[in-house]
Amino acid sequence: EAQVTQNPRYLITVTGKKLTVTCSQNMNHEYMSWYRQDPGLGLRQIYYSMNVEVTDKGDVPEGYKVSRKEKRNFPLILESPSPNQTSLYFCASSLGLSETGELFFGEGSRLTVL
Partner 1 sequence: KQEVTQIPAALSVPEGENLVLNCSFTDSAIYNLQWFRQDPGKGLTSLLLIQSSQREQTSGRLNASLDKSSGRSTLYIAASQPGDSATYLCAVKGEGGSEKLVFGKGTKLTVNP
Contacting positions for partner 1 (CB under 8 A): 4, 33, 40-43, 45, 48, 50, 58, 88, 90, 92, 97-98, 100, 102-108, 110
- In whole angstroms, the minimum distance from the beta carbon of 70 to partner 1 comes to 21
Q: Is the Cβ of residue 79 or residue 99 nearer to partner 1 in the bound state?
A: 99
The 3-state secondary structure of the chain reads CCCEEEECCEEEECCCCCEEEEEEECCCCCEEEEEEEECCCEEEEEEEEEECCEEEECCCCCCCEECCCCCCECCEEECCCCHHHCEEEEEEEECCCCCCCCCEECCCEEEEEC
Q: Is the Cβ of residue 19 or residue 50 nearer to partner 1 in the bound state?
A: 50
Q: Is the Cβ of residue 8 or residue 16 nearer to partner 1 in the bound state?
A: 8
